[in-house]
């Protein structure tokens, strides 16, 4: 499991959520942690990202 990458994102504003979406689309990282003061927005973005995972291309 040496290739197992974890990403922690601090700040889930416009830039943070765009960065997380880009990481999912590029198959960068296997686990994501998102930290933000607005809990509801963070939960919503996490749900959006989990729904996008099946449509992302697998890492080769």
Which residues partner with 34 through β-bridges? 9
Backbone angles phi, psi at 46, to 5 degrees: -65, -40
The reply to whether 1 falls in a domain is no
Q: Which domain holds residue 34?
A: 6-55
| Number of domains within the chain | 1
Q: Do 56 and 28 meet the contact criterion of CB atoms below 8 Å apart?
A: no
- Is the pTM above the cut of 0.85? no
Q: What is the pLDDT at residue 43?
A: 94
Q: Do 27 and 58 meet the contact criterion of CB atoms below 8 Å apart?
A: yes
Q: What is the pLDDT of residues 6-60, one digit of tens each?
A: 999 999 999 999 999 888 888 888 888 999 999 999 999 999 988 888 877 666 6
Distance of alpha carbon 38 from alpha carbon 24, whole angstroms: 21
Q: What is the pLDDT at residue 34?
A: 93
The reply to whether 60 falls in a domain is no
Residue 2 has pLDDT above 60, yes or no: yes
């Amino acid at each position: 499991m040496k290739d197992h990458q974890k990403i922690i994102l601090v700040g889930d504003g416009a830039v943070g959520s765009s960065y997380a979406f880009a990481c999912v689309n590029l198959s960068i990282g296997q686990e994501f942690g998102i930290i933000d003061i607005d809990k509801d927005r963070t939960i919503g973005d996490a749900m959006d990202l989990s729904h996008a995972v099946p449509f992302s291309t697998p890492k080769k």
